[in-house]
């Protein structure tokens, strides 16, 4: 599925946004201006952008925790300033400042996150079930890492999605690492997507550093799902430039990742690869890219200003107790 110029510009713009938001989050974590932890996305910003830029507002999305789902959510049209406010404990946060790092944008069908890796595999079956029952053509973009496919519930979700031909895309962002352990040690097969074979689910592997290749594969899978043809497995082979989360050592197994490894990884920097492509194909000029970068910088700055100007959420215990259950009329 060849991309149009307009689609390539949209992808490139979201990639610039993903890159700048990730750098902002990294900086703020180092400055002590984020609550909790941050799992930086440098090197792995392309999969979320490629998978999510062409989703509709009423498609379901479960973002990957890498980069805290920001690359995915911004691509789906979600205003990240409310998530940043959440991550700074503010009243204006998307979860009213009470969740640390969770996100919830129900109007965009990004319902939840959980600290349990692989939690996504249970609800995605239900979203797919509801989409199919209601026949309104929604698809479910289910993004998670190679590590999450160790969970039994991943296999259960694939089993049921394929049994019922649910419109779920199993989008695996394989960076080869789960904290310190390598996918090579933790999975018997080189490709996580080989799991799809056992369920008779179509699968494909894409270069996770190439946002355009990812988008092409995603558009095909989305079209299949919308047409009622069932789930697709996409494995985006990507990279994790930083440590797992800021502050943990940068190990593979129990040994430091080497400078050579890092140098080799950074040759495959997704922003660089995309820039060469848009310049080479004459999609964008250097001037246009610079304008875009300035506009995005202003957007990120405004998001920070919004979060910083918001009040810290300090509701009373009574108010919080009142929020545990949904009222009958919501």
What tokens does 128 get?
């797919």
Of 263, 282, 279, whose CA–CA distance to 271 is shortest? 279
> Which residue among 156, 261, 276, 308 contacts another protein (CB under 8 A)?
156
Q: How far is the CB of 122 from another protein (least distance, A)?
A: 3
Our finding on whether 23 is near another protein (CB under 8 A) is no
Our finding on whether 35 is near another protein (CB under 8 A) is no
Our finding on whether 226 is near another protein (CB under 8 A) is no
Tell me which stretch binds another protein (CB under 8 A): 27-35, 100-108, 187-195, 276-284: 100-108
Q: What are phi and psi of 12, to 5 degrees?
A: -65, -40
CB nearer to another protein: pick between 155 and 268: 155
Q: How far is the CB of 242 from another protein (least distance, A)?
A: 27
Our finding on whether 198 is near another protein (CB under 8 A) is no
What is the rounded distance in angstroms from the CA atom of residue 130 to the CA atom of residue 153?
19
Per-residue x/- marks for another protein, 43-82, CB under 8 A? ----------------------------------------
DSSP letters of 300-321?
HHHHHHHHHHSPBP---HHHHH
> Which residue among 37, 111, 180, 306 contacts another protein (CB under 8 A)?
111
Q: How far is the CB of 254 from another protein (least distance, A)?
A: 28
Of 263, 283, 274, whose CA–CA distance to 210 is shortest? 274
Q: How far is the CB of 148 from another protein (least distance, A)?
A: 13
Size of the site for another protein (CB under 8 A): 43
CB distance 267 to 207 below 8 Å: no
Our finding on whether 133 is near another protein (CB under 8 A) is yes
Our finding on whether 112 is near another protein (CB under 8 A) is yes
Q: Give percent helix, percent strand, percent coil of the chain, each to the nearest 5.
A: 50, 10, 40
CB nearer to another protein: pick between 10 and 112: 112
Our finding on whether 328 is near another protein (CB under 8 A) is yes
- In the beta sheet, which residues pair with residue 5? none
CB nearer to another protein: pick between 54 and 103: 103
> Which residue among 23, 33, 98, 204 contacts another protein (CB under 8 A)?
98
What tokens does 95 get?
């979860």
Our finding on whether 325 is near another protein (CB under 8 A) is yes
The owner of tokens 């080869």 is 176
CB distance 38 to 86 below 8 Å: no
Of 8, 12, 34, whose CA–CA distance to 23 is shortest? 34
Furthest C-alpha separation in the chain: 60
Could you tell me the strand order of the sheet in which 60-62 lies? Answer: 60-62, 140-145, 168-174, 232-237, 203-207
Which stretches of the chain bind another protein, using CB under 8 A? 93-96, 98-99, 102-104, 106, 111-112, 114, 116, 119, 121-131, 133-134, 152-153, 156-157, 159-160, 163, 320, 323-328, 330
């Amino acid at each position: 599925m060849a991309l149009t110029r307009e689609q390539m510009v949209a992808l490139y713009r979201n990639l610039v946004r993903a890159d700048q938001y990730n750098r902002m989050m990294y900086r703020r974590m180092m400055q002590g201006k984020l609550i909790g932890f941050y799992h930086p996305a440098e090197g792995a910003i392309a999969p979320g952008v490629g998978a999510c830029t062409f989703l509709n507002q009423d498609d379901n999305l479960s973002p990957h925790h890498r980069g805290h789902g920001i690359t995915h959510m911004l691509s789906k049209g979600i205003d990240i300033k409310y998530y940043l406010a959440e991550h700074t404990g503010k009243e204006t946060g998307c979860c009213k400042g009470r969740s640390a790092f969770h996100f919830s944008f129900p109007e965009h069908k990004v319902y939840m996150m959980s600290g349990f890796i692989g939690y996504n595999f249970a609800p995605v079956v239900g979203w797919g079930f509801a989409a199919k029952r209601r026949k309104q053509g929604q698809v479910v973009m289910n993004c998670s890492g190679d590590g999450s496919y160790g969970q039994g519930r991943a296999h259960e979700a694939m089993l049921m999605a394929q049994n019922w031909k649910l419109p779920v895309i199993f989008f695996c962002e394989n960076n080869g690492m789960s904290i310190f352990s390598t996918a090579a040690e933790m999975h018997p097969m080189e490709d996580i997507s080989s799991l799809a074979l056992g369920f008779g689910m179509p699968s494909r592997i894409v270069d996770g550093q190439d946002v355009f290749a990812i988008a092409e594969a995603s558009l095909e899978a989305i079209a299949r799902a919308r047409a009622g043809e069932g789930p697709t497995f996409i494995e985006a082979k990507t990279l994790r430039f930083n440590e797992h989360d800021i502050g943990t050592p940068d190990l593979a197994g129990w040994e430091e990742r080497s400078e050579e490894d890092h140098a080799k990884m950074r040759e495959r920097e997704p922003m660089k690869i995309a820039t060469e492509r848009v310049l080479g194909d004459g999609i964008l000029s250097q001037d246009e890219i610079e304008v875009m970068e300035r506009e995005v910088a202003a957007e990120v700055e405004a998001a920070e200003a919004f979060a910083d100007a918001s009040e810290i959420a300090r509701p009373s215990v009574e108010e919080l107790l009142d929020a545990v259950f949904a009222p009958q009329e919501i």
